[in-house]
Structure formats: structure tokens, C-alpha cells
Amino acid sequence: MLSARKKILKRILQVLLIVVIFYFLVKNLYVNWGKIAEYDWNINYYFLTYSFVLLITGAILMALGWNLILRMLGGRLGYKKALKIFFITDLGKYIPGKVWTLVGKVYLCAKEGIPIAKTSASVVIQPLIQVISGMLMFLVSLPFWTKTSDFMNNLYLLLPLIPIGLILLHPAIMTKLLNFVLTRLKQKPIELNIKYRDILLI
């Protein structure tokens, strides 16, 4: 009887969560509808399809990248399960608060037997790698830009950020930063079993 009630409560919470997500999606659409209606739409369906394919491919690669990081931390998820958890929890970014994606991943991964600290670490490491790698790619691409301006020329002053970014990506540095955060959150420190070359390949 108690188990049946838990299942019913779980189903109600799932439906409620979906309703909340779609509420904020519709709300954002309604608030910005004026800008959408005023925009001069000229749709190129070829590029639209191409962009959609790239969007889906990029999202899948991000999910697999997160799963790879989680595996390196000692968390084991099958690829299908990882994709499911990643895309379900990614909907949490549409809910105000900015923490629901993390909360969702921690909750669903905990049900798979993965410690909270490891899941939290994976969620922190992934955007850190994305930001630093994106910054590095941008700086490296600067010489190939055809149109320059004073602002663009001044961006070369950011070149020292390349070695700084590479240093921050080192497992020893990331371990110290993550454990500092985890201790503040009263979680057990972890050891990153990740090689530096593996991080650079993610």
C-alpha cells in the first residue's frame, strides 16, 4: 500500500515538474512575443535544417562528454541512461533558480548509485572545460578573422589567458578547487582519477 502511494506521489511530482517547465517556456515566449512578431523573418530551410542537425549533434556530444567525465570520476552510467539523465535534467535550466539541472542530475544519478560528490564534480568540471576550451579556440582563431577593429586588435592582450586556462584544466588544480567547494558544502573531498591528456581530449 505504501509502495503504491509512493508511485502515485512520484508520478504526480513528475507531471507537476513538466507543467512547471512548460509554464516558464510559454511565459518566456509570451513575454518576448512582441520582438518575435516584429522580426523580419527570412527563413532559409537548408540552413535551418543544417543548424538543427548541428544543434542535436552538439547536444549529444555534450551529454557523452559529461558521461565521460563522470566515468573518469568513478561513476558508471550506461550511454543510454546518461543521455536520458542529461536531456531530462537539462530542461531544468528553463526554471528560475539556475540550480535545477544540478539538482536533477544529483538526484537521478544517486538513484543509480553514484555519490553526490562525484555527480556534483562532473557538473562543475564540464562547463569549466567548455568555457576554457571555447576561450582558447576563440583566441587561436583570431588570426583568421578578416575584419578587424581596435576592439578585435586589443583582444590579443588576452593571449596570456591561454596558459592560465591550460593550468586551470590540470587535474591537480581542479582537484584543489573542487575539494574547496565540496568542503564548503560539507561533502567529502574526492580524488580526480583523470589524466591531463584525457581532459584535453574531451
Residue 3 belongs to a domain:
no
Q: Write the single-letter amino acid at 120.
A: S
Q: Which three three-digit cell numbers place residue 39? A: 522580426
Q: How far apart are CA 123 and CA 130, in angstroms?
A: 11
> 186-197 pLDDT, tens per residue?
777 777 767 777
Instruction: Show the domain range for 120.
Output: 12-37+44-201
User: Is 6 inside a domain boundary?
Assistant: no
Q: Is 1 inside any structural domain?
A: no
| Residue 94 belongs to some domain of the structure | yes
Q: Pull the grid cell for residue 34.
A: 512582441
How far is Cα 63 from Cα 82, in angstroms, rounded to an integer?
A: 7
Is 7 inside a domain boundary? no
pLDDT in tens, 98-134: 778 888 888 888 888 888 878 888 887 888 788 777 7
- Domain membership flag for residue 137: yes
Contact 82, 66 (CB under 8 A): yes
Counted domains in the chain: 1
Q: Is residue 133 part of a domain?
A: yes
The amino acid at 147: K
Binning pLDDT at 50, 70 and 90, where does residue 149 land?
A: low
The pLDDT tens digits for 155-187 are 666 667 777 777 877 878 878 877 787 777 677
40-82 pLDDT, tens digit per residue, is: 778 788 888 999 999 899 889 889 888 988 888 888 888 889 9
Asked if 139 contacts 155 with a C-beta cutoff of 8 angstroms, the reply is yes
Q: Considering the domain boundaries, does residue 169 fall inside one?
A: yes
- Work out the mean pLDDT of the chain and round it to a whole number: 78
